[in-house]
Amino acid sequence: MPEFSRSIVILLLIATIALAAVPFVSDRFHVQLITQILVLATFAMSLDLLVGFTGLVSFGHAAFYGLGGYSLAILTRDAGLISMWATLPVTLVVCGVAAAAIGWLSIRTSGVYFIMITLAFAQMVYYFFNDARGFGGSDGLYINTAPRLGLGGITLLDLQNRTTLYYVVFAVLLATATLLWMLLRSPFGQVITAMRVNQGRTRALGFPIDRYKLVSFSIAGMLAGLAGYLGATQFGYINPAHMAWRESGRVLMVVILGGSGTLFGPVIGAFVFVLLEDLLSGLTEHWLLIMGAFVVAVVLILPNGIAALLLRVTGSAPRSRSQPGNLAVRPRPRPVNVAARDGPILEVENLTKRFFGLVAVNCASLRFTPGQVHAVIGPNGAGKTTLINMLSGESQPTDGHIRYKGLDITGLSPDSISRMGIGRSFQITNIYPSLSCFQNCRIAAQSRLPSSMRFFRAASQLVDVAQNANRALDRCGLGARSHEAASALSHGDRRKLEIAMVLATEPELFLLDEPLAGMGAQESREILELLKVVARDHTLILIEHDMDAVFAIADTLTVMVNGKVIAAGPVDQVRADYAVQDAYLGHQDAAE
């Protein structure tokens, strides 16, 4: 979440006061028009939770808006309910359940497939109501009696009154913004924001990302249903057109126009879109052409929307923040109790991975001793990275078994394996570039909470998490740079940051895939020294092509060629193996 400058806060307060004064200074038409804008802004904020913060582009979000309106219409017509105490909770539950059901299926896809499946579900809902005569068919349903809020037989709010409706809609908009602000500052919000930046790394740290997607999708669906409830109240009817793909495209356009990933961008987008629509439609019958050209121009000139321009002008562009550096730091992370373990910490038996006709790993059987550095070497294409991917859960074995501390973990997901105590770094450095070093490590440390499904307490208040993050940065020599954006680091320091992130998860077993790749001599020495320090408290499985580094740090060695393990054992023994010399090391290296 970006920190806003004083100027932007003042502008938001002025806008809030101006909106509160609208009924006193405007005529009936403009009160209704701005009410319509506020409803659309609430709808757009619900979609921005998906698009701007979770990284899920839904093209079927209007289905929940329509369900909110239909829920109100059916409750008032068939159940005779007009009290908001009854109709509003039922509407939110209906939309939440529908969003959970649709989301449960949709989140199994990604990218364009996610867009298409949400569109398909929305069209299914559209055609159901369009063809259902009991629900008015294509004509929809009228809401003859607006909802009321009463207490003890006294009517407190009657939404039939347009001024009352305006203030209720305005209050709902503010409440939605406040809810999302609290949500995004919470541990849950930090996870979905990280997931948008780098989904693969978030999963590898131990977060069950499908669960977070589903919760975010359900919350967004409920908020869209709330907007639909208010929209149906304002206009007095609801029809299937409110669920059509055009409405989903319209609200998505509002989010993009205003600026996704900000709380006030959708509000700006709603005002600009509706006011421009109202102005142009009165000037020419070809107003849609002009409107489209305007949106295209904004996207080209301001790819991050109008809100980004406003943030830049007021000096509130997002900046990386870190926690104070004076938090207490424990002397060392949880060590591996080598003496307490009998047998291997990790064991693979007949592990095989086939990609169609290609056998990447062929019946590999290995045992990894606790507290040792075990290097896996071999030529390119030998199957080393595939082996690491299977050990970490990134790739599922075709055959064979993987046992960690005696437990069979074959086929488990990466997040489950990570939470068991296996951390990994990737061949290509895998971090959150747009976050600060501290934020990268805080997300990692947060993965070891019993649950990050905490929605209202700010993540910055989790002192133990902050301590673990700072400790990991200090161990990797990045403590003084915790406030810097990860994108500003050199390649070597990015690798240190990735190692710090894994350390923040307090693993017992550390998988490293070519940590020295692409580095100069000085950076390689620094990383090697860091790995020696890490090896004091962790079991390391290391893939590396730099043989000098391997021989300097490894206790045991495994050599793979064409997917097969051709030798495994102590370093000196394996180096002297003639099969290894012929296949990879060469006799000159062995002689040295």
| DSSP string for residues in 354-421 | EETTEEEEEEEEEEE-TT-EEEEE-STTSSHHHHHHHHHTSS--SEEEEEETTEE-TT--HHHHHHHT
Both tokens of residue 111? Answer: 């990218």
Nearest to 553 by CA among 510, 586, 582, 519: 510
Specify the DSSP class assigned to residue 107. Answer: T
Check residue 505 and report its DSSP letter. T
Q: State CA 165 to chain mean position distance.
A: 35
Q: Is the dihedral of CA 402, 407, 408, 412 positive or negative?
A: negative
Closest CA to 268 of 460, 44, 98, 455: 44
SS3 per residue for 167-232: HHHHHHHHHHHHHHHHHHHCHHHHHHHHHHHCHHHHHHCCCCHHHHHHHHHHHHHHHHHHHHHHHH
Q: Which of 3.40.50.720, 1.20.1050.10, 1.10.3720.10, 3.40.50.300 would CATH assign to domain 338-591?
A: 3.40.50.300
Q: In order along the chain (592 residues), what is the average pLDDT of each group of 10 residues?
A: 63 85 86 94 96 93 95 90 90 96 92 92 94 90 86 81 92 94 92 92 92 95 96 93 91 92 90 90 85 86 84 62 39 41 84 89 91 90 90 92 93 92 90 92 91 82 92 92 91 93 93 88 91 92 88 90 88 83 60 40
Q: Residues 358, 364, 370, 373: what is their CA dihedral angle, to the nearest 10 degrees?
A: -60
Can you give the pLDDT at residue 584? 67
| Spans of all domains in the chain | 6-313, 338-591
Only one residue has tokens 């319509």, namely: 36
Q: Rounded distance, CA 246 to CA 59, Å?
A: 9
H or E element: which one contains 148?
A: strand 148-151
Q: What is the DSSP letter of 502?
A: H
Query: In the CATH scheme, what architecture does the domain 6-313 have?
Result: Orthogonal Bundle (1.10)
Tokens of 300: 């080209």
d(C-alpha 180, C-alpha 263), whole Å: 8
Any bridge partners for residue 509, and if so which? Answer: 422, 539
What per-residue string of b and e applies to 43-76 under the rule 16 or more CB within 10 Å gives b?
bbbbbbbbbbbbbbbbbbbbbbbbbbbbbbbbbb
pLDDT in tens, 498-533: 999 999 999 999 999 989 888 888 999 999 999 999
Rg (CA), the chain: 29
CA distance 301 to 262: 18
pLDDT at 585: 62
Q: Residue 307 has which token pair?
A: 């809100």
Q: How far apart are CA 48 and CA 95, in angstroms?
A: 17
Number of continuous H segments (helices) and E segments (strands) in the chain: 24, 14
Helix then strand then coil, % of the chain, to nearest 5: 60, 15, 30
Per the DSSP assignment, residues forming a β-bridge with 424 are: 511
